[in-house]
Structure 1
Amino acid sequence: MPSSRRAAHVAIAATFTFAAACCAFAADAGPPLAASWPGTIRLDVDATDIDHRIFRVREQLPVSPGPLTLLYPEWLPGKHAPRGPIDKLAGLRFSANGQPLAWKRDPLDVYAFQLDVPAGATRLDVEFEFLTPQDGVQGRVVVTPAMLNLQWETVVLYPAGVEARGVMVDAGVRLPSGWRFAGALDVAPGQAPNTTAADGSVRFAPVPLDTLVDSPLYAGRHFKRVDLAPGAKAPVFLDLVADDAKDLESKPEQIRAHQALVEQARKLYGSQHYDHYDFLLALSDELGGIGLEHHRSSENSADPAYFTDWDKQAHERSLLPHEFTHSWNGKFRRPADLATANFNTPMQGSLLWVYEGQTQYWGHVLSARSGLWSEEQARDALALVAQTYADNRPGFGWRDVQDTTNDPIVAARRPLPYRSWQMSEDYYNAGLLTWLAVDAKLRELSHERHSLDDFARAFFGVDDGRWSVKTYTRADVVAALAAIAPFDWDAFLRAHVEANAPPLDGLAASGWKLVYTDKPSAYQRSADAARKSIDLSASLGIVVSTKDGRIGDVRWNGPAFKAGLGARGTLLAVDSRAFTPERLADVVKAARDGTAPIELLVKDGDDYRSVRVDYHGGLKYPHLERIPGTTDRLGAIFAARR
C-alpha cells in the first residue's frame, strides 16, 4: 500500500484512538486506521449548472499544521472495485489563512493528494469541479435537463489514515429552482423533507462519511413520492423522477404490487435494518442506467414506460426487489473481505456468489411473491437464466463461478469480445441457480418443513433495527445452513461454485426441466424488444441488433462461430435478402427442413463477406416444463407468504 494511504495527520496523530487493523483478512492491510478525525467537514455542492452538467464543490476541513494527505474515494461499495471517477475531478485548489497552497499527487496512488498545512492554520479550504459525463462514452450520465443523480463519493475529499465512519460531514446541496429531491439523508432541523429552500438549497443533518457515501440523492423537475408502507414504524417510499410528467402516472394495482414487495420482504426476513427506506427510481431514456444498493435506499432506473406500458416492462421489475434485498444481504450483513474501513482500502469479493448470487435469487422470488411478476413470468425469467448456463457458457471449461468474483476488478463491466467463453460476473445468475439448488436441498432434507426462507431469517434477519455492519465468512454461511438441516454444506457449495460445470441441478430438484420450442415466451419478447435485439444464442448462436443489424454476440464454438462469424460487424442480408429480424428468424426456422446452409452477408469494416452456417436445428427458445411425478418446489418457492 503506498505510504500516502497510510499517512495520518502527523500533528494530531497523538490524539487519535487507534482501533484494530481494519482488514484482518488481507495479507498486508497496513497499519491500523485512526478511529476518528477531530471536528466536522463542511461540504457544499452547487448542482445548478445543468447546462454544462457540472457539480461545483467547496469543502472546509478542520486541520492542524503539518503534512496532510487527502483521498478521493476509489474502492466503491456495491461496485466491488476501484471505480472512483477521479478522471472527472478538475480545478483542484487548496487554501488556508486566505493563501493558496501548493499540492502534488502521489505518483503511485493517483487518488491521493499531498500538501503541507501552514503554521497557525485551523481550517483548510478546498474547491474543485466534478465534470459529469456529457455522453455515455465518457461514463454514466448523471445530469440531464430534467433530473440529476448526486453520488456523494464523487464530490468529496477526505483525510487519509482514518476510518470512514470516524469522519463527520455536514453536507448541503443547491439544486435547480423548483426541483424536488429524495434520498436517505435526513434534512437538518427546520427544513422540509424533499423540498428545497427558495434558493434551491438544502442542508442535511451531519453524518459519518460512510453514511454520506451510502446515501445518494435523486432530484428532478418531475417528481413524485409514493408511500409503500402506510402507517409503518419504518417508512418505505418510492421516489420517482421522470423525463416527462406523464411517465409518473401509475395505476393502483401497480402500486399495490410495490407495496406487497415491502410486505413480502418483511415476512421473509422478519426484520428491518433501516429507520426509513427510499427506492430512488428514474424513469428515463437520458439518465444513465443504474441499479445500486445502499443501506437505506437504492439507486435505480427503468424505461420511461415502466408504469404506462406495464405489460411490456416485466423484465425491468426484478430490479427493485434485488436492490431492496441488499439492505439485508450486503449492507447489513456483509462479507468480511468487502467490509473495508475506508474507501481507499482494496476490497476482495470472494463471497459475491452469496452477496450478489443469493440477492439475485431473492430478487426473482420476491418479484413473484409480490405480484410484480406472475408465476409464469417468474418461470420464464428462470428459463432464460437456465438456458444461458445450459447452452451459452462454454467458459466453464476453464473457469468456475468462484473465479468470476474477481471480474469487477478484471473486466470492470467493459464490453467483452466473447462473453460466453470469457465469462464475467457469472456469480449473479450462476449464484441464483446455486441458491435454487440449496433451497431445493433444504426442502428435501427436511421433508418440505424448512427452506432457504429459514436461512434468510436466521442469517440476515437477526438484530432487528440494527444498522451497523455485521460481517460474515464462508464458514458462517455453512454453519447457518447446517443449523437448519444437517448436511455437508461445504462440499455442496464447493461443488456448485468451484466446479468447471454450470450449477443446473437445482432446477430438476425443484420439479422442473428446461425445454425448447420455436416460440419465445412473452417475457423474452419484451426483454428482446427492450434491448432492441433478436436473441438466437440457443440456436444459431448469435445476438443481433434489430435496429441496425449489428452483431452483438457470437456463442463460442456455436454454429455461427464455427462458420467463421466473429462477434463484430453488421448483418446486411440473409439468404440474399436484406436483413430484418423477422427474416432471420424465418430462415433459421425453415432451415430445419432443408440441407442447404444459411447464408449471411456481413459487413466488417470496409470488407463484405458471405458466411455459410450449416445449422438445421431450427429456432430454440427456452421454457420450463414440469417433471411428472415430482414435487413442485418451484411453485412453493414463488408462492406469496401469508
Structure 2
Amino acid sequence: MKWKTMVAVRCVYATAGLGMVVAIGPVPVAHADVPAPADVAYPGTIRLAVDATDLDHRIFRVHEEIPVAAGPLTLLYPQWLPGNHAPRGPLDKLAGLAISGNGQPIAWKRDPVEVHAFHIDVPQGVSKLSIDFEFLSPQDSSQGRVVMTPDMLNLQWNTVALYPAGYYAHGITIAASARLPQGWQFGGALEVAAGESPNAIGTDGAVKFKPVAFSTLVDSPLFAGRHFKRVELADGKVPVHLNIVADDAKSLDIKPAQLKAHQDLVAQARKLYGSQHYDHYDFLLALTDQLGGIGLEHHRSSENSADPGYFTDWDKQAPGRDLLAHEYTHSWNGKFRRGADLTTPNFNVPMQGSLLWVYEGQTQYWGFVLAARSGLWSAEQARDAIALVAATYADNRPGFAWRDVQDTTNDPIVAQRRPLPYRNYQMSEDYYSAGQLIWLAVDAKLRELTHDKRSLDDFARAFFGVDDGSYVVKTYAFDDVAGTLNGVAPYDWAKFLHERVDAHAPPLDGLAASGWKLVYTDEPGAFQKTAEANRKTLDYSASLGLVVSSKDGKVADVRWDGPAFKAGLAPTSTLVAVNGREFKPERLKDAITAAKGPGAPVELLVKNGDEYKTVRVDYHGGLKYPHLERIVGTPDRLNAILAPRR
C-alpha cells in the first residue's frame, strides 16, 4: 500500500451572512509508506521470546531478533485479526518499544496514517535487529479482555510480535519461545522444538517451539495455568485433545459421561465432514471467573472459556455447551474453507466479510446440531435453544425495517463489538443467528426436494470435506456456495439465498419447513430458566419489550417501539419499584400476569440518571415464553437433523 495523494481543499464559511471562500492547499490526505505484501520468502528466521511470568503486573515482556539488510524497513503490529473479522489488534497495549543493532540504539518512527506500522532505517553493517517491548495486558475488563490472572494466562502471539512489511505472513518464518510461571502447564497447537518433551517446560522455565510460518504462529495461541488437565478426545493418527485450565483444581473433575459427550463431538464432526484439515487438534478451555471470556477459532485449536462449574455443575451449564461445537466446526468452515474477501496476505491488509452468513451463520447452525448429536445437549435442550433464537427474530428485531442480514456482515468493522444502546433496532452481527435460521431453511428445503434422502450434511461433506488432510486455505465466493447446493439438489439456490440474506424480514420459514412452529406459554422451559439464571437476567422482550437484570433491576435492553419503549423506558435505566413496591424479580413477573386482559397497566418507578419518574406500560398480553411445538401432519425434519449419525 502506497499513497502519496495531495488535494486542494475549498472551505466555505458563513460570516455575518456573507459566504467566504478560503482556499487551503495542497493538503496531504494520506501518506503511508508501507510496502505492499509480496508472496516471497523473508530471508532468515525471526526469533521471538516472550516472558509471561510477571503475574503481579500482568505484563508480557518481549524480545525479538529479526535478520535484516541495511536500508529502509517497516515493521508491523498485527491489526486485522482472523476470527475477529475487524481491525482489533490491541496496539494501545504495546509500550517501551526499543530497537537496536550491533548494541547501538536505532531510531524508529510510527507511520502517521498506518499507526500499526513503524519505520526504521537499518544502518550499514547491521544484519540483525534486537527489539524489546512490553505488552501491558488489561488489569480489568474496562481496559479490554483480561488475558492474565494469578492462576492462568492466554498468550495470543499476535499481541506480542512485530513482523516485516512487504511479505505474505506465510512467507515469514519465526521460532518462538515462552517463559511461563514455575509449576504451570500449557496447551496449544504449536509443536515443541526438536529434543524437547511434548508440553514440557524447560529447566529455565521456557518452552521452545518449532519454527513455523508467522501465519501459523498467530493461529496457534497458548493457554497455561496452575491448575491444568489434558484429556484425549480422539487418538490414532489424528489426535484431538481437550486442554483445560481452571481457577481452582476442583473444576477439573470430569465425569465419564461428560468426557464421552466431548469425545462424541469429535466423532460426530468427523462423520459430518468426512475429512480433517489438521494433523492434531487442541481445544483450549478455561474454566474461570477471572480470565476474560472468549470463543475464537483456529485451524488446529480453539480458545474457549466457560463457567468454573462447566463440569462440576453440569446440569446448570447447558446454555453454553454449544461453544466447543461451534469453534471446532470453524476448523472446516472459516479456517480451511474461507470467504475470499476474508482471506488476506498478512494481518495489516483490510478484510471484508460479505460471506460471514456462511462462515459464522452455518457454523452457528452446526454448533447447535453437533451439540445435540454428541449429547452435549439433549434434543429437547436443542429445540429450546432454537426456540429462543426464533423468538428473537419473531419479536425482537425491529431493525429489519431498515437493514438486512447482508448489511450486518459489515458490523465487525462498524461496531467492533462495542455495546449498543438499542441493539434490537441497530442490529449487530445478526449474520450469526439469522444466518443459522437461513441454513435451517436450506436444510429443510434440501430434504423436501430429495424426499428426505439428502440434506445439508451432504453439502457439508461436498463443500468442507474436500481435500482431506490438506491445511491449505481453500477460498470460496457466493457462486461456489450456490453451485455446491445445486450439486446436492438442483434448484435456484442463488435466488433462495438472496431472498433471505437480502430481505427486510427475519428468515423464519425454515422452522415450519422442519415440522415445528414457535408458540408462547406463560412458563419458561428449563433451558431458558437456566440461561436467565446464569446471565442473571429476566427476558421479557416478547411481552413488555425489555430485558432487565434480576440482580439490581437495571434495564439491559428495550425493544424499539415496544410497550416499554413507548412508555418511556430506555436501556441503562433502573427499575426501582413495581406497582408501588420495591423491585424484585417475582414482583415484576406477577405484575405482568396481573395486567393480562382488562387489568391495569404495569406501573414502574424508574431511575434514569438522577431523575426518578413513574411510567405505565400499557401491555396486557401476559407472560410470553417461547417454545417449539410440532405441526401435526408434517414430517419431523428437525428431530431428524438433531439425531446422532451412526
| TM-score class normalised by the smaller sequence | over 0.9
Q: Tell me which residue corresponds to 1:9.
A: none
Indicate whether 1:242 and 2:246 are aligned: yes
CA RMSD of aligned residues (A): 1.1
Equivalent of 2:610, from 584, 606, 611? 606
1:265, distance to aligned residue in structure 2 (A)? 0.2
Equivalent of 2:160, from 155, 158, 162? 155
Q: Tell me which residue corresponds to 2:632.
A: 628
Alpha-carbon deviations, 1:154-194, whole Å to 9, x = none? 00000001000000000000000000000000001121222
- Normalising to structure 2: TM-score of the pair? 0.95
Q: Deviation above 6 Å: which 4+ runs of structure 1?
A: none
Counterpart Cα distance in 1 of 2:367 and 2:286: 19
Counterpart Cα distance in 1 of 2:148 and 2:387: 37
Counterpart Cα distance in 1 of 2:283 and 2:205: 23
The 3-state SS of whatever aligns with 2:523 is: coil
The one-letter amino acid paired with 2:167 is: V
- Normalising to structure 1: TM-score of the pair? 0.95
1:246, distance to aligned residue in structure 2 (A)? 0.2
Q: Tell me which residue corresponds to 1:263.
A: 267
Equivalent of 2:387, from 383, 389, 396? 383
The 3-state SS of whatever aligns with 2:596 is: helix
Counterpart Cα distance in 2 of 1:340 and 1:540: 45
Alpha-carbon deviations, 1:197-222, whole Å to 9, x = none? 12321000000000000000000000
The one-letter amino acid paired with 1:146 is: D
Q: Tell me which residue corresponds to 1:86.
A: 91
1:594, distance to aligned residue in structure 2 (A)? 3.7
Indicate whether 1:180 and 2:195 are aligned: no
Counterpart Cα distance in 2 of 1:30 and 1:551: 49
> What 5-or-longer segments of structure 2 have no aligned partner?
5-33
Alpha-carbon deviations, 1:540-578, whole Å to 9, x = none? 111111111111000001110011111121111100111
| 1:477 to 1:113, Cα distance in 2 relative to 1, 3 A | same
The 3-state SS of whatever aligns with 1:109 is: coil
Confirm or deny: 8 A CA contact 1:2 1:109 kept in the other structure: no
Indicate whether 1:190 and 2:188 are aligned: no
1:195, distance to aligned residue in structure 2 (A)? 2.3
Q: Tell me which residue corresponds to 1:455.
A: 459
* Of 441-450 and 193-202, the range deviating more from structure 2: 193-202
1:618, distance to aligned residue in structure 2 (A)? 0.4
Q: Tell me which residue corresponds to 2:17.
A: none
Q: Tell me which residue corresponds to 2:135.
A: 130
The one-letter amino acid paired with 1:293 is: E
Counterpart Cα distance in 1 of 2:215 and 2:528: 39
Indicate whether 1:431 and 2:432 are aligned: no
The one-letter amino acid paired with 1:408 is: P
The one-letter amino acid paired with 1:139 is: G
Q: Tell me which residue corresponds to 1:212.
A: 217
Q: Tell me which residue corresponds to 2:21.
A: none
Q: Tell me which residue corresponds to 2:119.
A: 114
User: Identity percentage over the alignment?
Assistant: 71
Q: Tell me which residue corresponds to 2:52.
A: 47
Counterpart Cα distance in 2 of 1:460 and 1:345: 26
Counterpart Cα distance in 1 of 2:51 and 2:2: 33
Confirm or deny: 8 A CA contact 2:96 2:133 kept in the other structure: yes
Task: Write the mapping of 1:589-604 to structure 2, written as runs, cut at 5 A.
Answer: 589-604=593-608
Counterpart Cα distance in 2 of 1:638 and 1:32: 45
1:242, distance to aligned residue in structure 2 (A)? 0.2
Equivalent of 1:104, from 80, 94, 109? 109
Equivalent of 1:364, from 358, 362, 368? 368
Confirm or deny: 8 A CA contact 1:321 1:364 kept in the other structure: yes
Q: Tell me which residue corresponds to 1:310.
A: 314
The one-letter amino acid paired with 2:553 is: G
Counterpart Cα distance in 1 of 2:582 and 2:40: 66
1:593, distance to aligned residue in structure 2 (A)? 4.3
Confirm or deny: 8 A CA contact 2:36 2:167 kept in the other structure: no
| 1:2 to 1:572, Cα distance in 2 relative to 1, 3 A | farther
Indicate whether 1:576 and 2:580 are aligned: yes
Counterpart Cα distance in 1 of 2:37 and 2:294: 34
Task: Write the mapping of 1:193-342 to structure 2, written as runs, cut at 5 A.
Answer: 193-229=198-234, 231-342=235-346
Confirm or deny: 8 A CA contact 1:177 1:199 kept in the other structure: no
1:596, distance to aligned residue in structure 2 (A)? 1.2
Confirm or deny: 8 A CA contact 1:2 1:108 kept in the other structure: no
Q: Tell me which residue corresponds to 1:567.
A: 571
Task: Write the mapping of 1:9-28 to structure 2, written as runs, cut at 5 A.
Answer: none
* Of 518-527 and 219-228, the range deviating more from structure 2: 518-527
The 3-state SS of whatever aligns with 2:266 is: helix
The 3-state SS of whatever aligns with 2:367 is: helix
Counterpart Cα distance in 1 of 2:200 and 2:186: 7
Alpha-carbon deviations, 1:203-258, whole Å to 9, x = none? 000000000000000000000001001x3210001100000000000110000000
Q: Tell me which residue corresponds to 1:12.
A: none
The one-letter amino acid paired with 2:540 is: L
Task: Write the mapping of 1:519-538 to structure 2, written as runs, cut at 5 A.
Answer: 519-538=523-542
Q: Tell me which residue corresponds to 1:143.
A: 148
Counterpart Cα distance in 2 of 1:31 and 1:63: 18
| 1:30 to 1:97, Cα distance in 2 relative to 1, 3 A | closer
1:196, distance to aligned residue in structure 2 (A)? 0.7
The 3-state SS of whatever aligns with 2:116 is: strand
Q: Tell me which residue corresponds to 2:73.
A: 68
Counterpart Cα distance in 2 of 1:383 and 1:314: 15
Confirm or deny: 8 A CA contact 2:37 2:165 kept in the other structure: no
Equivalent of 2:505, from 485, 501, 515? 501
The one-letter amino acid paired with 2:550 is: T
Q: Tell me which residue corresponds to 1:488.
A: 492
The one-letter amino acid paired with 1:120 is: G
The one-letter amino acid paired with 1:155 is: V
Counterpart Cα distance in 2 of 1:529 and 1:278: 31
Counterpart Cα distance in 1 of 2:339 and 2:348: 17
The 3-state SS of whatever aligns with 1:228 is: strand
Counterpart Cα distance in 1 of 2:280 and 2:92: 34
Confirm or deny: 8 A CA contact 2:36 2:165 kept in the other structure: no
Alpha-carbon deviations, 1:97-156, whole Å to 9, x = none? 110011110001110000100001100110000000001000000000000000000000
The one-letter amino acid paired with 1:311 is: D
Counterpart Cα distance in 1 of 2:2 and 2:620: 59
1:597, distance to aligned residue in structure 2 (A)? 1.0
Indicate whether 1:422 and 2:431 are aligned: no
Confirm or deny: 8 A CA contact 1:75 1:82 kept in the other structure: yes
* Of 520-529 and 395-404, the range deviating more from structure 2: 520-529
The one-letter amino acid paired with 1:526 is: T
Confirm or deny: 8 A CA contact 2:35 2:166 kept in the other structure: no
1:531, distance to aligned residue in structure 2 (A)? 0.8
The one-letter amino acid paired with 1:123 is: K
Alpha-carbon deviations, 1:44-69, whole Å to 9, x = none? 00000010000000000000000110
Indicate whether 1:474 and 2:483 are aligned: no
Confirm or deny: 8 A CA contact 1:599 1:612 kept in the other structure: yes
Q: Tell me which residue corresponds to 1:511.
A: 515
Which structure dedicates a bigger proportion of its chain to strand? Answer: 2
Q: Tell me which residue corresponds to 2:28.
A: none
Task: Write the mapping of 1:387-402 to structure 2, written as runs, cut at 5 A.
Answer: 387-402=391-406
Equivalent of 2:449, from 439, 445, 468? 445
The 3-state SS of whatever aligns with 1:60 is: strand
The 3-state SS of whatever aligns with 1:255 is: helix
